[in-house]
Amino acid sequence: MNEGMIEEAVRLLLQGLGEDLARPGLKDTPRLVAEASQVMLTGYRRDLSQVVEVIEGPDEIVLLRDLPFFSLCEHHLLPFFGTADIAFLPDGGRIAGFGSLADLVDVAARRLQIQERLTAEIADALEVALRPRGVYVALRARQLCMQMIEGRHLGSETQTLVVRGALAEEPARGELQGLLAGGRR
């Protein structure tokens, strides 16, 4: 990431808005935005296929719920944030460390994204790393572009879902839906 280019882009944006770059509240803004970008967009520094830690375990459904994430919409550069549910049906005893699943969501989200692609990228990475019999990824998010720009969608939530393999078929789908419904607030 080129911090100098990001700083220059922010200066141009502020000038385009008619702001005074010498104003005390704005003089550090280009640098601060560039520094924040280094943190918010760290996902570009990691390969998703290397994030999931494969370990041995039983071939039973694994479900992690309510993993928090935040990302930036690639269309407006505004945040969207929410939670992810991840489930997979292992094959051959290949499961994943829970922390690495949370890392997968975080790394995939810390890029310019759209929610639909983010959901699919998480599912793709799980399939590559674990070669499971089935994968389920659901994201629930609040899109600030819908709330700040369009204004009429305050409080709205978007949901995206990818279900593949055996988890898309009965009886596994029914068992997974039971697990999801059982603890939902």
What are 94-130's pLDDT values in tens digits?
999 999 999 999 999 999 999 999 999 999 999 999 9
Q: In whole angstroms, how far apart are CA 159 and each of 96, 116, 124, 138?
A: 24, 9, 18, 7
49 with 125: CB under 8 angstroms? yes
Same domain, 65 and 155: yes
Same domain, yes or no: 92 and 179: yes
Same domain, 83 and 165: yes
In a shared domain, residues 76 and 166: yes
Mean pLDDT of 56-83: 95
Q: What are phi and psi of 104, to 5 degrees?
A: -60, -45
Do 18 and 85 reside in the same domain of the chain? no
Burial environment of residue 12 by CB neighbours within 10 A (0 to 12, 13 to 18, 19 or more): exposed
Q: Are 155 and 77 part of one and the same domain?
A: yes
Domain coverage including residue 10: 3-40
Same domain, 73 and 161: yes
Q: What is the CA radius of gyration of the chain?
A: 20
Residues 97 and 16 in one domain: no
Please give the pLDDT value at position 150: 67
Domain assignment present for residue 46? The answer is no
Q: Is residue 164 included in any domain, yes or no?
A: yes
Does residue 106 share a domain with residue 19? no
Q: How many domains does the chain have?
A: 2
| Residue pLDDT, tens place only, 116-168 | 999 999 999 999 999 999 999 999 999 988 888 867 777 889 999 999 999 99
- Lowest mean pLDDT: which of 2-6, 16-20, 170-174? 170-174
CA atoms within 13 A on the CB side of 92: 6
Residues 155 and 95 in one domain: yes
Out of 3-17, 48-62, 132-146, 163-177, pick the least confident.
163-177
Q: Quick one: 55 and 32 in the same domain?
A: no
**Pairing mode, if any, of strands 79-89 and 62-73?**
antiparallel
As a whole number of angstroms, the distance between CA 160 and CA 110 comes to: 18
CA 81 to chain centre: 8
Q: Which of 140, 158, 133, 160 lies closest to 67 in space, CA to CA?
A: 140
